[in-house]
Structure formats: structure tokens, C-alpha cells
């Protein structure tokens, strides 16, 4: 018996819309990453980009549990000596909540060339309007 292996470019691609209002950041990110990677399809092949596009709306209304809003830090390095920067998540949620959701999903995808290709299938918007009406996205219900 042979195993089925999906060929690149052969998978049918769909567009989904997710309303992130009131959802926990980690749960949202893991479920969106599953759809972007294509693991929800029965023909999943790990070495092929066969995932679907996901549009996340209302990313500014995402919730963090516990004291993470005050305690958690967003850390990055500028590349210069002494260039370690830390920003509290509370400030990030006020100013760049789309970056918070984007980075959370990116961290749950493979850290290789295929993951870099997959993250391009994610669109994150602060409000409840998006620019991808022409693709006719379908609403995706995620567990809260």
C-alpha cells in the first residue's frame, strides 16, 4: 500500500476570516497556524505548502491570560552592540497589536524556508474591515 503525497501546487487553496475579539492569543495563534500549515486537511504533506490563507480581524481585542499583559516582554535585537530592546506587551497591544498576533503565529510555524513561505498567507487587521473581499473568504469558527 502506498502513501499519498501531495504535489506542490496541486492543493486547493481557500481563504478564511477569523474574528479574534475576545480570544486568547496563544489559542488563536495555534489554531491559525494549523490552518496556514494545512494540517486540517486529510491530504496533509509536511514538506509541501498546502495551507489556506487566513485573515485575522479585531487583533486589538485579543486577550492575554493571567498577568502576562504586565509581565510579558517583547524582545528583539537591533543588530548593534548593546542593541537589545524590550517592550512590555501592554504597550505593544496598544500600538502594534497586529505585530503581536503576526509574531505569535509565525513562532508556531516551521522555522525554515517553508515556514517563511507559509507566513505570507496570513493577513492581520486591527479593525473589522479587510481588503480581501475579492477572494470571497469564508468565516472560520475557532475554539475559544
CATH architecture classification, 15-63+97-139: Alpha-Beta Complex (3.90)
37 torsion bin: left (phi>0), alpha (psi -120 to 50), beta (else): alpha
pLDDT at 110: 96
Sign of the Cα pseudo-torsion (34, 38, 44, 50, in order): negative
* Contact (Cβ atoms closer than 8 angstroms) between residue 74 and residue 87: yes
Structure pTM? 0.92
Across the 144 residues of the chain, what is the mean pLDDT of every consecutive 10-residue run? Answer: 83 94 95 96 91 95 92 94 95 93 96 96 94 94 86
pLDDT at 4: 81
Amino acid at each position: 500500500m502506498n502513501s499519498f503525497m501531495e504535489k506542490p501546487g496541486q492543493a486547493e487553496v481557500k481563504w478564511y476570516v477569523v474574528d479574534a475579539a475576545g480570544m486568547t492569543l496563544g489559542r488563536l495563534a495555534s489554531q491559525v497556524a494549523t490552518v496556514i500549515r494545512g494540517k486540517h486537511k486529510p491530504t496533509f504533506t509536511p514538506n509541501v505548502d498546502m495551507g489556506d490563507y487566513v485573515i485575522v480581524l479585531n487583533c486589538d481585542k485579543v486577550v492575554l491570560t493571567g498577568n502576562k499583559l504586565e509581565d510579558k516582554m517583547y524582545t528583539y535585537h537591533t543588530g548593534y552592540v548593546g542593541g537589545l530592546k524590550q517592550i512590555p506587551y501592554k504597550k505593544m497591544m496598544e500600538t502594534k497589536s497586529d505585530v503581536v498576533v503576526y509574531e505569535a503565529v509565525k513562532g508556531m510555524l516551521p522555522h525554515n524556508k517553508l515556514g517563511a513561505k507559509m507566513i505570507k498567507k496570513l493577513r492581520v487587521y486591527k479593525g473589522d474591515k479587510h481588503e480581501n473581499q475579492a477572494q470571497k473568504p469564508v468565516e472560520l469558527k475557532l475554539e475559544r
